Every structure is written in C-alpha cells, then in structure tokens.
C-alpha cells in the first residue's frame, strides 16, 4: 500500500518540478510556446532527449491502452493526457498508481 502512494507522490513531483522550468523559461520569453519547442532542438543532445521521451511516451501509451483493454480499468486512461500534456515523469507514475489499486 505504501508503494501505491509513492507512485502518486512521484506523479505529483513529475508534474510540478519539470513544469517549474517550463514556466520559468516561457515567462522569460513572452510565453511563447514556439520558442520553448525551438529550445528542445537547440543541439544534438536536446534533440536526442526529445526523441527519447517521445518514443517512451508512445510506448507507454500503447502499454496503457493494451492493459486497459484487458483489465477494464478505464480511469487509468487519464494517464495518457498526463503523458502528452505534462510529461512521462508524471504520466508513468500516475498510471502505476491507477494500476496498483487493490482489486
């Protein structure tokens, strides 16, 4: 049961901590989403990280869809928007929190 709450704590941390950096950057750049996205492709290192997270997000989404189809845990689908609107650092632990609910 403690592990379940650790998943939720990590999901909250994964939502707040990265978002702080995104918001700080956007506030300094006139709230331009375009400039934020451009910053993701500034060099090969950040470009590789963007692709790493994109592939992880797609794989996680497919895993969630396949498990929800079997387990019928429909609420776990809320993890998918969290993955793409917030990030994998929030979406993965959020899904694990939903998945670890006692049956």
18-55 residue pLDDT tens: 999 999 999 999 999 999 999 999 999 999 999 999 99
pLDDT at 42: 92
95: buried, middle or exposed (CB in 10 Å: 19+, 13-18, 0-12)?
A: buried
Q: What average pLDDT score do residues 73-97 get?
A: 97
- Indicate if the pLDDT at residue 1 is higher than 90: no
Q: What is the dihedral of CA 80, 86, 91, 97, to 10 degrees?
A: -110
Q: Please count the structural domains in the chain.
A: 1
| Residue (of 84, 103, 80, 26) closest to 94 by Cα position | 80
Domain span at 75: 2-99
Residue 62 — pLDDT band, cuts 50, 70, 90?
Answer: very high
């Amino acid at each position: 049961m403690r592990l379940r709450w650790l998943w939720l704590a990590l999901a909250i941390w994964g939502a707040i901590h990265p978002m702080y950096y995104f918001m700080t950057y956007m506030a300094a750049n006139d709230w331009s989403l375009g400039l934020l996205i451009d910053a993701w492709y500034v060099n090969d290192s950040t470009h590789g990280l963007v692709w790493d997270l994109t592939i992880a997000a797609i794989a996680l989404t497919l895993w969630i869809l396949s498990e929800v189809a079997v387990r019928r845990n429909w609420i776990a689908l809320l993890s998918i928007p969290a993955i793409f609107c917030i990030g994998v650092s929030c979406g993965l632990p959020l899904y694990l929190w939903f998945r670890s609910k006692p049956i």
